[in-house]
C-alpha cells in the first residue's frame, strides 16, 4: 500500500474504511514504516517530523470530509486516527487525543489554555482550575485567614 492507494481507498469507501480497525492499523503502520525508513537513512528528528506532517497533509483533507483526523499524540507518542472532536491543541500547537486530555490535562478556567495536570492549581475561594501563570497573576494568600483567594 502506498499513500495514493490509502487516499483512494478513503475516497472510494469513506467511513466504511475509516471504521475498519484493520485498515486504520495498516494506515498507521504504513506511516510508521515510512518514518522508520527515513530514520534508517539518518534523517534528523526535525526532518522526520516534517515528513510525518507532509504525509498527514496528504491524508487529512480526505479524512476531514468524514470528521476524522490523523495526528501524532504527544502524550502517547504515537500516530492515531481520531474523530475531529477528540483532538486537543496544546499551547505549543502539539496535539493530544481525548484519552490523553481526560486523564492527564485540564483547561485553565482563566486563559482557557490546555495544560498538563502537573501544573494544576486551585484557590480556596473558587472552584476553578488555574494554570501556573494565571494562578500567580490572580490568586493571593491571606496570612490572617490562612486561605487563598482570587482577587478578580
Ordered mean pLDDT values, 10 residues apiece, the chain (152 residues)? 79 77 87 94 94 94 91 97 95 94 95 94 86 90 82 76
Residue 96 is predicted with a pLDDT of: 98
pLDDT the model gives residue 13: 80
Q: Residue 34: what pLDDT?
A: 93
Prediction pTM value: 0.82
Q: How much is the pLDDT for 24? A: 85
Q: Given this model, what pLDDT does residue 43 score?
A: 94
pLDDT for 20 equals 79
Per-residue model confidence (pLDDT) at position 87: 97
Can you give the pLDDT at residue 12?
Answer: 82
pLDDT value of residue 23? 82
Give, as one character, the DSSP assignment of residue 1.
-
- CA pair distance 144, 20, nearest whole angstrom: 62
Residue length of the chain = 152
The Cα 67–Cα 19 span in angstroms is 12
Amino acid at each position: 500500500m502506498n499513500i495514493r492507494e490509502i487516499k483512494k481507498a478513503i475516497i472510494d469507501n469513506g467511513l466504511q474504511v475509516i471504521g475498519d480497525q484493520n485498515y486504520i492499523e495498516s494506515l498507521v503502520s504504513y506511516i510508521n514504516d515510512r518514518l522508520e525508513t527515513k530514520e534508517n537513512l539518518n534523517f534528523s528528528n526535525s526532518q522526520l517530523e516534517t515528513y510525518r506532517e507532509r504525509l498527514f497533509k496528504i491524508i487529512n483533507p480526505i479524512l476531514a470530509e468524514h470528521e476524522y483526523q490523523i495526528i501524532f499524540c504527544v502524550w502517547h507518542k504515537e500516530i492515531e486516527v481520531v474523530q475531529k472532536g477528540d483532538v486537543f491543541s496544546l499551547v505549543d500547537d502539539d496535539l493530544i487525543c481525548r484519552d490523553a486530555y481526560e486523564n492527564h490535562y485540564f483547561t485553565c478556567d482563566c486563559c482557557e489554555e490546555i495544560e498538563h495536570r502537573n501544573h494544576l492549581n486551585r484557590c480556596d475561594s473558587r472552584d476553578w482550575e488555574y494554570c501556573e501563570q494565571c494562578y500567580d497573576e490572580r490568586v493571593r494568600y491571606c496570612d490572617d485567614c490562612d486561605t487563598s483567594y482570587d482577587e478578580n
